């Protein structure tokens, strides 16, 4: 019998790349440009058909979450739903895999929220949640291969580190070691996991409805200005920000959770004070989650943004044999110590980031124009011509759009890198270490590369490039990466995803059904 029924719920959330605004975005006065990735986290909820072996009198039901591509014995976490005189409680079951803070907080707080939501104005005490959970739920979480380093998989299949090799790995490729011993690539696995898991549980319990994959993408492409305003997404946003902060034990800027929900955008953070009352373990009955997480009280800004057609993001996972410790504390300490100097740098960076965002918007505004369409009769230059010009550097004196804007974008990318290096030097934190500078300089001088940088907090772990989306441009970059000897550079297959959180049709996601059947 197939595991899939009309009662199976699959929800996915994208990973992230912070293209501009690292460190600045921690402060509400500044913003960050985050690109959501085509690589996603999938949470699939199946109703259990039997209650299993729970013999405890008070255990009403059990939710099990399994990380599908990891060794089974170390990668499943269960939560008992217990009936107590004061209502329904959720209790982690201690198993072989130990605790998974992100899964645990997402499951327990989502159920707490659901109980409050379904019992509002009634004396229900959680009974309707119990009836919806029935005999229990089994949740399988699966991440696209990009979230974890695939070096070992490529080496054991004798494949070179190129995009074409990544395409030949099976989707949701099994990984040999538990999550804690697996190298991540920096796409924000915990934020995408928490967001997709919360979305899947709330959808399964009929508390929200979510856009389908087509709806999510067209919603994103059509929207200008504020991306908020869809009640289900706005609610999941505050709940996911809360869970993510509680699990990681600190309040970050939250751009990763925000892009997991809304897709690519320009993010201005929420006030950290919003989460303060929820961050300590208060005695029962606990804080009123629904009131604290009501989107009406939240103040983040989510402005539509994306990469224009014809421009592609290329990502690489870098293994320099050096761990990147947390830089945030040190950079912020320098900012406090040298307030004047830092303010001046923050302002220059913010201005340049805003200019870059403006250039992207101008190019998007031209997408429907004839000059931008491939194959159109060209009175002016089209994108293909533009690529030729940039490949062979023949058009440096022309200011015909969109060439003009692409050239300006290139200058802004260069300026941002130089300012981030200034931040590096002044704070004494290797945000763009010399090894990365050498790699980025070489890539940036390759034809068709518009610029690059170290995403997010920077360090040794990854690089991101913006390139003209042309096979020749990409081939040349891959050649540089494959031949690089100072560090091992392995491409990631992610492109930009326009949409954020969405419900999936299991048959439309390559390899998902097979991975779930294992």
Ligand X SMILES: C[C@@](O)(CCOP(=O)(O)O)CC(=O)O
Ligand Y SMILES: Nc1ncnc2c1ncn2[C@@H]1O[C@H](COP(=O)(O)OP(=O)(O)OP(=O)(O)O)[C@@H](O)[C@H]1O
Q: Residue 275 in contact with residue 241, Cβ under 8 Å? A: yes
- The interface mask with ligand X, positions 362-381, x = CB under 6 A, is --------------------
Calpha distance 164→474 (Å, rounded): 11
**Smallest gap, in angstroms, from Cβ of residue 37 to ligand Y?**
11
Name residue, tokens 């006065």. 29
Q: What is the largest CA-CA distance in the chain?
A: 80
Out of ligand Y, ligand X, none, what residue 18 binds, judged by CB under 5 to 8 A for its kind, is: ligand X
Options 22, 310, 430, 452; binder of ligand X; rule CB under 6 A: 22
The correct pick among 136, 456, 491, 500 for binding ligand X (CB under 6 A) is 456
On the 0-12 / 13-18 / 19+ scale of CB atoms within 10 A, 344 is exposed
179 binds, among ligand X, ligand Y, none (CB under 5 to 8 A by kind): ligand Y
399 φψ region: left (φ > 0), alpha (ψ -120 to 50), beta (else): alpha
Task: Rank residues 104 and 469 by Cβ distance to ligand Y and give the closer one.
Answer: 104
User: Quick one: 451 or 455, whose CB is closer to ligand X?
Assistant: 455
Tell me how far, at minimum, the Cβ of 510 lies from ligand X, in Å: 27
The least CB distance from residue 230 to ligand X, in Å, is 24
Contact window for ligand X (CB under 6 A) among 193-201, 248-256, 422-430, 477-485:
248-256
Cα 415 from Cα 358, distance rounded (Å): 15
> Does residue number 320 form part of the binding site for ligand X (CB under 6 A)?
no
Q: Which does 187 bind (CB under 5 to 8 A by kind): ligand Y, ligand X, none?
A: ligand Y
For residue 275, the Cα-to-chain-centroid distance in whole angstroms is 21
For residue 96, the Cα-to-chain-centroid distance in whole angstroms is 29
Long-range contacts: 463-466, Cβ < 8 Å, 24+? 463/315, 463/316, 463/318, 463/436, 463/439, 463/489, 464/17, 464/19, 464/313, 464/314, 464/315, 465/313, 465/314, 465/315, 466/19, 466/307, 466/311, 466/312, 466/313, 466/314, 466/409, 466/413
Asked if 308 interacts with ligand X (CB under 6 A), we say: no
Which of 11, 13, 18, 192 binds ligand X (CB under 6 A)? It is: 18
Buried b (16+ CB within 10 A) or exposed e, 400-413: ebbbebbbbbbebb
Min separation Cβ 457 and ligand X, Å: 4
Minimum gap (Å) between residue 365 Cβ and ligand Y: 32
The reply on whether position 25 binds ligand X by CB under 6 A is yes
Q: Pick the closer one to ligand X by CB: 79 or 255.
A: 255
Task: Give whichever of 255 and 460 is closer to ligand X, judged by the CB atom.
Answer: 255
Which parts of this chain interact with ligand X (CB under 6 A)?
18, 22-23, 25-26, 186, 252-253, 255, 328, 455-457
């Amino acid at each position: 019998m197939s595991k899939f029924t009309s009662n199976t719920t699959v929800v996915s959330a994208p990973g992230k790349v912070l293209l501009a605004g690292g460190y600045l975005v921690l402060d509400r006065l500044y913003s960050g440009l985050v690109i959501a990735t085509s690589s996603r986290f999938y949470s699939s909820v199946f109703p259990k058909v039997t209650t299993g072996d729970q013999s405890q009198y008070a255990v009403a039901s059990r939710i099990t979450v399994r990380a599908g591509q990891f060794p089974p014995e170390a990668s499943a976490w269960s939560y008992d739903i217990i009936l107590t005189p004061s209502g329904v409680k959720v209790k982690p079951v201690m198993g072989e895999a130990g605790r998974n803070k992100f899964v645990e907080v997402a499951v327990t707080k989502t159920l707490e929220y659901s109980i409050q939501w379904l019992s509002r104005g009634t004396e229900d005490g959680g009974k309707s949640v119990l009836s919806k959970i029935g005999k229990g739920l089994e949740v399988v979480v699966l991440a696209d291969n990009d979230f974890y380093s695939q070096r070992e998989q490529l080496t054991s299949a004798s494949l070179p580190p190129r995009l074409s090799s990544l395409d030949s790995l099976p989707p949701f490729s099994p990984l040999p070691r538990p999550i804690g011993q697996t190298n991540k690539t920096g796409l924000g696995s915990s934020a995408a996991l928490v967001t997709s898991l919360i979305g899947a549980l709330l959808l399964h319990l009929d508390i929200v409805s979510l856009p389908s994959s087509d709806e999510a993408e067209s919603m994103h492409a059509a929207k200008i200005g504020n991306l908020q305003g869809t009640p289900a997404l706005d609610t999941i946003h505050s709940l996911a920000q809360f869970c993510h902060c509680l699990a990681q034990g600190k309040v970050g800027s939250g751009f990763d959770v925000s892009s997991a929900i809304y897709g690519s955008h320009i993010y201005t953070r929420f006030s950290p004070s919003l989460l303060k009352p929820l961050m300590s373990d208060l005695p029962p009955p606990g804080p009123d989650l629904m009131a604290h997480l009501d989107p009406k009280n939240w103040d983040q800004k989510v402005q539509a943004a994306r990469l224009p057609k014809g421009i592609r993001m290329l990502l690489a996972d870098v293994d320099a044999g050096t761990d990147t410790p947390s830089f945030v504390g040190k950079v912020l300490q320098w900012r406090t110590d040298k307030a004047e100097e830092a303010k001046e740098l923050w302002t220059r960076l913010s201005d340049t980031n805003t200019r870059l965002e403006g250039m992207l918007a101008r190019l998007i505004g031209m997408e429907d124009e004839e000059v931008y369409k491939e194959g159109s009769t060209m009175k002016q230059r089209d994108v293909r011509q533009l690529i030729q010009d940039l490949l062979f550097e023949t058009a440096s004196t022309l200011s015909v759009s969109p060439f003009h804007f692409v050239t300006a974008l290139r200058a802004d990318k260069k300026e941002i890198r130089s300012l981030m290096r200034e931040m590096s030097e002044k704070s004494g934190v290797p945000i763009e270490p010399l090894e990365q500078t050498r790699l980025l300089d070489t890539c940036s001088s390759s034809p068709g590369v518009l610029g690059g940088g170290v995403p997010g907090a920077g360090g040794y772990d990854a690089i991101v490039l913006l390139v003209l989306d042309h096979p020749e441009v990409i081939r040349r970059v891959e050649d540089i990466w494959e031949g690089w000897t100072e560090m091992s550079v392995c491409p990631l297959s992610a492109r930009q995803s326009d949409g954020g959180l969405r419900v999936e049709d299991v048959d439309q996601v390559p390899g998902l059904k097979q991975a779930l059947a294992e």
